[in-house]
Amino acid sequence: MIQFPINLKAHKRFDDFGHSFVADIEAACVFEVNDIVSDILDMCEDSTTAQVKEVLRSKYQESEINQVFGYLFQLQMAGILFHQTSVIDQKRIAFSEQIVVSPSFLSRLDQKPFLTRVAYHHLFKALSQKLEVFVPISNTESLPTKFDWEGIIPLKIPTESRQSLVRYYPERCHGMLSLPHSTVHDVSLAYSSRIPTIFYVSSAEPDRQSILDKFFLLRDCDLLCVDSWWLKDYLSQFTADTEKVVVLPAGVEGDVYTLKDAQESKLTLAGAFENERMKSDPLILLFLPDASYENRNLVHFLARNHPEFLFIVVGGMNRLQLGSQCENIEYFQVEDMADYQALPVIYSAADLGYYAAVGGANAFYLSSALYCGVPLIISGEHDNSTMKDLGMYIQIAANSTPAETAEIVSKSLVSLLVDQSLLARYRDLAIRKGRSFTWESVAKTIKNHFISLREQLPQTEPSLTNLPSFFRYHYDTIQGKAIPAAYERPDFMPETVNVAIAKELMQTHSRNQVSVVLERICEDSSIAGDIRKYLSIERKHDE
């Protein structure tokens, strides 16, 4: 189908002998045009195909219009008349500072964890300072109640537009933000709407496959923001190319998370927990992702190995899940605003914290603990230079037993607690690094990314810049069989089928995706690697 608008550069229209004609200078062809074609030529440079047809319908029969379009399409394919394949460049509109948040975050919003809803609220607030943020709500929907909407503008979508939601967005907004804990439906929405999309995902999300899918399906105009370095490390297991993954640590509400006096905080906690030991014993915070067998045992090992310390398990599990009666273990979960506001007191009272930076870990705790100056021992599965800058980083293999982990963590705990100057250094480090974890910086980063993503507008139609290869059977007279073969256009030089497939996919898919395909279709990894290298070289030449 002919795609309008189209630039009629080398065309000349004229009348003579009682008829109208068009001369296509480049095709060296001249032909007579009738009324319908004449009307089309009048509109084709400034209107879309749909718009042209709409106007034509008021004058001509549908069958006539279809016939003419079929005829014109043949001309175009023959290199006559509409033979430029490029459309008029989309105007680079200045970034209008309008973005929309994908509606999937609203799904069961009231049932989402408290911390998730708080994060949404602060993110929106911060974003609203930098951008016009719309949250799509239909006319008939009521706003979720367990959410603080202050400062956020719900974009009321008219009912009829809701059905064509995918068209609504690009007309109103220049980008879409998919929030943590959103479904893969946002991918479909992004592809359908054809607007640049930032997918912001959290390591605390239970559905890791969804994050993996979003990662692989990123287009040139998309970006994946992860709230933790270990999530980026996780993704890098599947591919070396994580260029489109940016770490955007969760922000902290500076008004609430202020540094308090340590001694006063300890006293407050002792009263709140009714535990006198909190006044004087070393207080260690344990940040574990969940109540798995390994984590429960880790807590037990630590508690038993160090009866002199008092441990508070923050988030992740509760007393019931741990099933332990150890006297030196307390629990704290943020389930409501009171808990949320009490957390800074716990941070201020703590001497030290251990943070397991693994899948499922809630990045908010890392950000907020550092923000409040808690010196941290951070463990992770990979060697990560960034996390080494946040605290005492220890690498623990994924298959380590709880006992092994406990031994390593214990050593680190003791080493820090006996060396007060070292502890002070890590505290200063935490404060210095933690101060950058604000929602304002998250909002600013998101805005900057949206502006740069505008340079990578999604194509209206994924088109090939190079001619696709030609695939056919080749009859082998010796074997008496037809063998699949590929030929590179325009000269039809033979090439291997693998390379031909990969070359074409490279034009419409990311390198990560093509890597997946090559690993699958090549007989062994070395061949896949060779083809990848070959294509990378080609791509550099194209660029």
Partner 1 sequence: MDTIRNMVHRYKLIEFQESAYLADLDYHRLLPVDGLVQDVFERIESDTEEIVSDLADKYTEPEIRNCLHYLHWPQVQSFSRTLEAPPLKIFAPRLHSTHDQLRWNTLGASVAHIELLKALSKYATIHVTQEFEEMDNMVLTPFNIHEKSSVYRVIKENYDGVLLWYLDEVEMMSLLSYLYVPVVLPIYTARGGNGRIANGMLRWYTSMRNFDGFMTLSQPTIDLYSTFLRDTSSFHIVPCGVDTEFFRPKDKEQAKQEVAELLDRPEITEKPLVGYISRFQVEKGAGVFVDVARLMPEVLFLAAGSIEESHYCDFPENFVHIGRRPREELPLLYNAFDVFCFPSIACSEEFGLVALEAMACGTVPVVSSYDGPKYVVKDAGVVVPAMLYDRDMTSLGGGILAEDFAEAIAELLQNEVYRHKLAGKARQRALQLTWDNSAKCLLQVFQELNVKKRLVGQQAHMPIGFGINENVDGSTQPKAMIINATRENNMPLTGTLYDTSVEEGIALSLLRNHNMREIEVILSYLLEDDDAIEECLDRLKGFTRALF
Q: Is 424 in the site for partner 1 (CB under 8 A)?
A: no
Task: Select from 57, 62, 78, 419 the one that contacts partner 1 (CB under 8 A).
Answer: 78
What 3 state SS string does 82-119 have?
Answer: CCCCCECCCCCCCCCCEEEECHHHHCCHHHCCHHHHHH
Give how far Cα 498 sits from Cα of 318, 423, 463, 491, 522, Å: 53, 57, 20, 19, 7
Q: Could you tell me if 181 and 199 are in contact, meaning their C-beta atoms sit under 8 angstroms apart?
A: no
Task: Select from 119, 179, 187, 310 the one that contacts partner 1 (CB under 8 A).
Answer: 187
Q: Which residues pair with 471 in a beta bridge?
A: 486
Q: Nearest distance from residue 295's CB to partner 1, in Å?
A: 18
DSSP letter, residue 6: B
By rule CB under 8 A, what count of residues binds partner 1?
Answer: 79
> What residues between 24 and 53 interact with partner 1 by CB under 8 A?
24-25, 27-32
Q: Would you give the binding string for partner 1 spanning residues 227-246, x where CB under 8 A is met?
A: -----------x--------
Q: Is 519 in the site for partner 1 (CB under 8 A)?
A: yes
Locate 166 and state its tokens. Answer: 């995918």
Question: What angle, 0 to 180 degrees and rounded to 10, lies between the N-to-C axes of helices 208-216 and 229-236?
Answer: 70
Q: Would you give the binding string for partner 1 spanning residues 198-217, x where CB under 8 A is met?
A: ----------xx--xx-xxx
Q: Nearest distance from residue 440's CB to partner 1, in Å?
A: 33
Q: Nearest distance from residue 242's CB to partner 1, in Å?
A: 14
Q: In angstroms, rounded to a whole number, what is the distance separating the alpha carbons of residues 397 and 68?
A: 68
Q: Is 273 in the site for partner 1 (CB under 8 A)?
A: no
Residue with smaller CB distance to partner 1, 359 or 375:
359
Q: Nearest distance from residue 509's CB to partner 1, in Å?
A: 7
Q: Is 489 in the site for partner 1 (CB under 8 A)?
A: no
> What residues between 276 and 335 interact with partner 1 by CB under 8 A?
none
Q: Is 14 in the site for partner 1 (CB under 8 A)?
A: yes
Classify residue 221 as left (phi > 0), alpha (psi -120 to 50) or beta: alpha
Residue with smaller CB distance to partner 1, 143 or 397:
397
Q: In angstroms, rounded to a whole number, what is the distance separating the alpha carbons of residues 2 and 49?
A: 7
Q: Is 484 in the site for partner 1 (CB under 8 A)?
A: yes
Q: In angstroms, rounded to a whole number, what is the distance separating the alpha carbons of residues 367 and 442?
A: 12
Task: Select from 485, 499, 531, 535 the one that contacts partner 1 (CB under 8 A).
Answer: 485
Q: Is 21 in the site for partner 1 (CB under 8 A)?
A: yes
Residue with smaller CB distance to partner 1, 293 or 385:
293
Sign of CA dihedral 389, 393, 395, 398: negative
